[in-house]
């Protein structure tokens, strides 16, 4: 499986790999998910959510429940 995502390396390899395993490789795809749904994915924790929120905000996007 490819680890090619647009998510930052600062999130950690496991969280990026697990998001990709769930078909999530681009920021736009996260707008259909809530923070809780992302936290339910193995390897995705509060640090990854914080980093994703910051980057989504920079792009004018947000998680579904925000």
Q: Rounded to whole angstroms, how far apart are CA atoms 23 and 59?
A: 20
Among candidate residues 36, 59, 42, 32, the one with its CA nearest the CA of residue 7: 59
Over 90: is that where the pLDDT of 4 sits? Answer: no
Q: pTM of the entire structure?
A: 0.90
pLDDT digits (tens, 9 = 90+) for 8-66: 999 999 999 999 999 999 999 999 999 999 999 999 999 999 999 999 999 999 999 88
Asked whether the beta carbons of 8 and 51 are under 8 A apart, the reply is yes
Q: Rounded to whole angstroms, how far apart are CA atoms 1 and 51?
A: 23
**HEC sequence for 5-41:** CCCCHHHCHHHHHHHHHCCCCCHHHHCCCCHHHHHCC
């Amino acid at each position: 499986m490819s680890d090619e995502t647009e998510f930052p390396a600062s999130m950690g390899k496991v969280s990026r790999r697990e998001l990709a395993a769930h078909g999530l490789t681009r920021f736009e795809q996260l707008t259909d998910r809530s923070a809780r749904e992302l936290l339910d994915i193995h390897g995705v924790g509060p640090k990854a959510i914080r980093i994703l929120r910051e980057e989504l905000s920079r792009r004018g996007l947000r998680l579904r429940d925000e």
